[in-house]
Amino acid sequence: MPGNHGGRRRRVLASEELSLPRLSRDWQDSAACRGMESSLFFAPDGETRRPQRRRVQRAKAVCRACPVRAVCLDEALRVREPYGIWGGYTEEERKDLRLPARLAVSSAR
């Protein structure tokens, strides 16, 4: 998944054979998505709602069976990955996971 995707930069998946900055590739070697098409985990340009729902369901099914799902999700949250399905969560779902942490920090001030 090198390069640009619909004008947006994004990190490559475990299925890619590129080295990732700031990541150990050990967990990626065990990922269920290894060797799969990245288009399953990242929305193609112009994707409509129904195909998107089907694609996301298929991607999440791969993630549910993944032995490194938690590590993948943790990494996506840590680096604030803006695109794709990581650890079984969409971009919006990952934002929701970070929300309680942001609220806890702001209420502690």
- Of the chain, the percentage scoring pLDDT greater than 70 comes to 67
The total domain count for the chain is 1
For residue 89, what are the CA distances in angstroms to 7, 22, 98? 22, 21, 12
- For the chain, how many residues are written? 109
Q: Is the pTM of this model over 0.75?
A: no
Residues 6+ apart with CB under 8 A from 83: 5, 8, 10, 11, 42, 43, 91
> pLDDT per residue over 33-79, tens digit each?
999 999 999 998 999 999 999 999 999 999 999 999 999 999 999 99
Domain range holding 40? 4-108
Average pLDDT, the chain: 78
For residue 49, what are the CA distances in angstroms to 43, 55, 76, 94? 11, 10, 24, 19
